[in-house]
Structure 1
């Protein structure tokens, strides 16, 4: 395993002392309701906000509890195709409480989301990888990263 060195600083900036206070990752989908069910009902990400018919877009923001990180999914009335990237393009959720990790994976599987083989063998034996309804990969890992 490669040794990863993390720079220790009091706060992280983007340069010129610009400190990000929130991150939102947004993507379109033609499977809006299925994607919401996967991330909200399956993975348990709370729904933070929702909008409808805003310039012909519907959208939902899902967040990580206690964190300033959001996933936004949008659907345009004329269609919102978003082909999945490579099998190694991942969102990784670290759940280190083993009981919670086990419950989360059991819930995903009860909902019909069978784990898929990860592209990178690094994730074997430490996580479950799922494909969302659009084919994007989400890893639920029981050990934290860097």
Structure 2
């Protein structure tokens, strides 16, 4: 399996974007409860409000935008997830504690793959899922299935 970018695709950073209808709540969830760094933030740019969160830093980031009156977003789907691969069960436990301190509770996974391997899922204020997995994809294999 090839793990490098093709020579003709000289990518220096990656961003993915999704809409929100709860800008302020999403900001608090990702910045304060989860602790992601805010790389950029704007209000009223051609009718858009936006946030950029580092994942984990500046080469990979997530953009959240709010647009319209009232803002509208598509219905969340259980397989549309932000998966954060953390460095072990202790790192997951620390993130779970931080989210709990902000009033967030884990939610059930539609796909048993995640809980069978020790991952914990949370909904953000728009209902989109954040998966906290206890291994780093590409550096180590997933944990064996817990019975």
- Settle same-fold status: TM greater than 0.5: yes
Aligned to 1:120: 111
Q: How far 1:84 moved relative to its partner?
A: 3.2
TM-score of the superposition, structure 2-length normalised?
Answer: 0.83
Q: How far 1:97 moved relative to its partner?
A: 4.3
Between the aligned partners of 2:43 and 2:84, the Cα distance in structure 1 is: 28
Q: Residue by residue, what CA displacement relative to the aligned partner does 1:37-89 show, whole Å, maximum 9, x if unpaired?
A: 11111111100011121112111111123351111111225232113332122
**Which sections of structure 2, spanning at least 5 residues, go unmatched?**
139-147
1:50–1:114 CA distance, 2 compared to 1 (3 A): same
Aligned to 2:76: 85
Aligned to 2:10: 19
Between the aligned partners of 1:79 and 1:23, the Cα distance in structure 2 is: 29
1:92–1:44 CA distance, 2 compared to 1 (3 A): same
1:76 aligns with 2:70: no
Aligned length: 137
**Which sections of structure 1, spanning at least 5 residues, go unmatched?**
1-6
TM-score of the superposition, structure 1-length normalised?
Answer: 0.84
